[in-house]
A and B are shown apart, each in its own frame.
Chain A
């Protein structure tokens, strides 16, 4: 069974990284959103510095939401999803493999890009390590929770927007604690509170690693029958 799991994982990574997989699109979208923020709110550097962690997280969220509907839709359209549901892997592990692949292909590149793009928003370099750590802890939650939304809307035409709307309420705690953990002095999270935010963020991620696949599998079963 672990061979099947890793085979599925590698397949998804290769598909996403290859042609038509949209692997780099999320980072490109991230770049564009971060670039237009100063155009919208003005280039005042102190203000941008205060906004930077929050805006980076919001842009990260949007970029993650954008790639959600690719999680199951493409496989559903060519029938692979039906084969997977009948195969050796339980649907829960299929969801784990796909969420993990999504994080590796979408989440990780976004995390790597974030500090660089933060320079566009005058992000102070001393906050970058905590930003990277917070994003590393928080982005798996985005992939695993997002899988539930993607599974709920698989097979619906233009279901991508609905999937984004459905998971956004669940992303809000990740956003709140992610920003709190990323920046020492923003939104009132200082020192001890920042550490608490990081721990809560970790708790949310760990919970989503377990609950997300079960929810996604249940939703897939509902939509595949």
Chain B
């Protein structure tokens, strides 16, 4: 008989593989997460819109940055979640990993689209153009295509288990794009502004702007996590319905 010691990390990892346990835990977490996300985003927006200085070059339009940059960060974060979950699904066969990957995709795609749209709205007054085929914008557009292709693959294969493994391969293949986006402004000096926050020498952005930026980023991340849990729960329920339907069809055939 095993010793009654506290569970190891591996045991906990597999403990939460049980969908029922995940459903119970996520049900308890959802409302606090919703409230926290709303709070942080509200505070961040207040700072962004009212309590931070206008840029010396761009005046008030710089405030689009407080939505554009966190959206872009979240688009890459979403793909990273998808890629890590896909790797876990393929290597460890964790039952909830492919659910996590599938749920992250539409959220990541939405943030990517938001980043592209707000960037376009910002680019028109700043650079005089709605769109430019520079390195970063092109690679973010490719990221959007990768998300859409991933979602299309899930939607086309009927068996969820088969779809899960195929989609995991696709997500991992596309993961190369994330470092490409991150370093695209370093490798190619084209139109988009180079890195100013996550740099080796430290951020070059003013602290009064860094605070609302950080708040919005944290708020968006919390929102992502909340919506991610919602979608995972929906996917688990969807699979239960599918299994029930299949069981009913099978028993009807034998009747």
Which residues of A does B touch, CB under 8 Å? Answer: 148, 152-153, 156, 159, 162, 165-166, 168-170, 172, 176, 211, 215, 218-219, 221-223, 225
Contact = CB atoms under 8 A, between A and B. Distances in A.
Interface string B138-158: 100010011011001100110
Nearest to B144: A169
B38 interface: no
Contact of A165 (B90, B142, B152, B166): B152
| Interface of B (DSSP majority class) | helix
| Interface of A (DSSP majority class) | helix
7 contacts: A152-B166, A156-B157, A169-B177, A215-B169, A219-B166, A222-B165, A223-B162
B152 A166 contact: yes
Contact of B162 (A168, A170, A218, A225): A225
Which of B138, B148, B149, B162 has most A Cβ within 10 Å?
B149
A162 B156 contact: yes
Given A169-B177, A218-B90, A223-B166, 15 more contacts: A153-B153, A162-B149, A162-B156, A165-B148, A165-B149, A165-B152, A166-B149, A166-B152, A166-B153, A169-B142, A172-B138, A219-B165, A219-B169, A222-B165, A222-B168
Contacts of A219: 165-166, 169-170
B54 interface: no
A169 B156 CA distance: 18
B173 interface: yes
Contacts of A170: 173-174
Contacts of B166: 152, 219, 222-223
Interface residues of B, number: 21
Contacts of B168: 222
Given A148-B173, A156-B157, A159-B156, A169 B149 contact: yes
Contacts of B142: 169, 172
A69 to B, nearest CB: 13
Nearest to B190: A188
A222 B171 CA distance: 14
A108 to B, nearest CB: 25
Given A152-B169, A215-B173, A169 B162 contact: no
B173 to A, nearest CB: 5
Contacts of B156: 153, 156, 159, 162
A218 B169 contact: yes
Contacts of A148: 169-170, 173
